[in-house]
């Protein structure tokens, strides 16, 4: 038997999601749309990774493929599921995907009860996460009666409550006004620092990506590939005001924008 290569072993053991040559083609009445082309990316265990890219480059498709809501047309995605008792992944979509006919608390309890948690325990856990997202007092409200920002916090609480090994978020803050968005970014930063799940987070905002993530993968225009991957060097725990004021923040923002702008100008969909 060959001796194991310790470097390779270490590299493999720190990889949570291994994406190899993943392509995705949607076939429809008007022909084929190639959404993804040869995506290669390793997401590390416990890493917060942001995906940036022009509209229509395949960010949502990639996230849905990782969530196993779509099947790749080619290539493979391997995800390490460490604890079979724990849900592998949870997704937060862009458009407030909460059940309007359930109360705020019932929305958060739902996946827990589905997973077999007893109602009393599920209720306690739901209330804990609602408290974490400053939704204490709104447990019995119906989502249609609360603001967009609150609905999105319900969706985030629901995803966090199951304590998934991987959290997948598709522009979760995009529909919020600027101030609320900053507040929720800071909340997410704090919650992630306390919990350290592996996160793949799609955003249009370079500032948001720099504040939250460990690495930023910039995708090319459709069919999307992983273009440049940036390391985000800020130490944790991060102080949002200090990060935003750091000279490195401005330098990285400029560098990333330079690359993103080129992709958008070369014919992204927006």
Ligand X SMILES: Nc1ncnc2c1ncn2[C@@H]1O[C@H](COP(=O)(O)OP(=O)(O)O)[C@@H](O)[C@H]1O
Binding interface with ligand X (CB under 6 A): 26, 28, 33, 35, 53, 55-61, 222
Contact 212, 50 (CB under 8 A): yes
By beta carbon distance, the residue nearest Mg ion is: 60
SS3 241: helix
Q: Interacting stretch for Mg ion, rule CB under 5 A, among 51-59, 83-91, 120-128, 193-201?
A: 51-59
What does 58 bind: ligand X, Mg ion, none (CB cut-off 5 to 8 Å by kind)? Answer: ligand X
Indicate the residue among 29 and 120 with the shorter CB distance to ligand X: 29
Q: What is the total count of residues that contact Mg ion (CB under 5 A)?
A: 2
From candidates 37, 51, 52, 60, binder to Mg ion by CB under 5 A: 60
Q: How far is the CB of 243 from ligand X (least distance, A)?
A: 26
The residues near 125 (Cβ < 8 Å, ≥ 6 apart) are 109, 112, 117, 161
How many whole angstroms separate alpha carbon 161 and alpha carbon 136? 15
Q: Interacting stretch for Mg ion, rule CB under 5 A, among 29-37, 60-68, 128-136, 193-201?
A: 60-68
Determine, following the binding rule CB under 5 A, whether residue 61 of this chain makes contact with Mg ion.
no
Indicate the residue among 130 and 202 with the shorter CB distance to Mg ion: 202
Contact 166, 83 (CB under 8 A): no
Q: How far is the CB of 7 from ligand X (least distance, A)?
A: 34
Indicate the residue among 56 and 148 with the shorter CB distance to ligand X: 56
Q: How far is the CB of 164 from ligand X (least distance, A)?
A: 21
What does 174 bind: ligand X, Mg ion, none (CB cut-off 5 to 8 Å by kind)? Answer: none
- Identify the bridge partners of residue 229 per DSSP, sorted by sequence position: 217
How many whole angstroms separate alpha carbon 119 and alpha carbon 33? 45
Nearest to 193 by CA among 244, 253, 246, 234: 234
Q: How far is CA 132 from the centre of its chain?
A: 19
- Per this entry, what is the length of the chain? 270
Q: Is 172 left (phi over 0), alpha (psi -120 to 50) or beta?
A: alpha
Residues at the interface with Mg ion (CB under 5 A): 59-60
């Amino acid at each position: 038997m060959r001796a194991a290569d310790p470097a390779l072993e270490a590299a493999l053991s720190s990889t949570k999601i291994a994406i190899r040559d993943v392509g995705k083609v949607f076939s429809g009445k008007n022909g084929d749309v190639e959404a993804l082309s040869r995506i290669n990316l390793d997401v590390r265990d416990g890493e917060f990774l942001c995906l940036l890219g022009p509209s229509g480059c395949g960010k949502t498709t990639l996230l849905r493929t990782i969530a196993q809501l779509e099947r790749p047309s080619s290539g493979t995605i391997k995800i390490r599921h460490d604890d079979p008792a724990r849900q592998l992944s949870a997704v937060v979509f862009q458009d407030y995907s909460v059940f309007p006919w359930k109360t705020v608390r019932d929305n958060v309890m739902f996946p827990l009860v589905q997973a077999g948690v007893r109602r009393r325990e599920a209720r306690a856990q739901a209330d804990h996460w609602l408290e974490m997202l400053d939704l204490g007092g709104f447990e019995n409200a119906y989502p249609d009666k609360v603001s967009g920002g609150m609905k999105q916090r319900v969706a985030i609480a629901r995803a966090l409550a199951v304590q998934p090994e991987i959290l997948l978020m598709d522009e979760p803050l995009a529909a919020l006004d600027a101030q609320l968005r900053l507040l929720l970014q800071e909340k997410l930063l704090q919650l992630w620092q306390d919990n350290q799940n592996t996160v793949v987070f799609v955003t249009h905002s370079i500032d948001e990506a720099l504040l939250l993530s460990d690495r930023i993968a910039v995708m090319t225009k459709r069919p999307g590939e992983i273009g440049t991957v940036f390391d985000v060097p800020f130490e944790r725990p991060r102080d949002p005001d200090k990060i935003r004021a750091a000279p490195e923040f401005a330098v990285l923002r400029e560098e990333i924008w330079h690359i993103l702008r080129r992709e958008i100008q070369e014919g992204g969909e927006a």
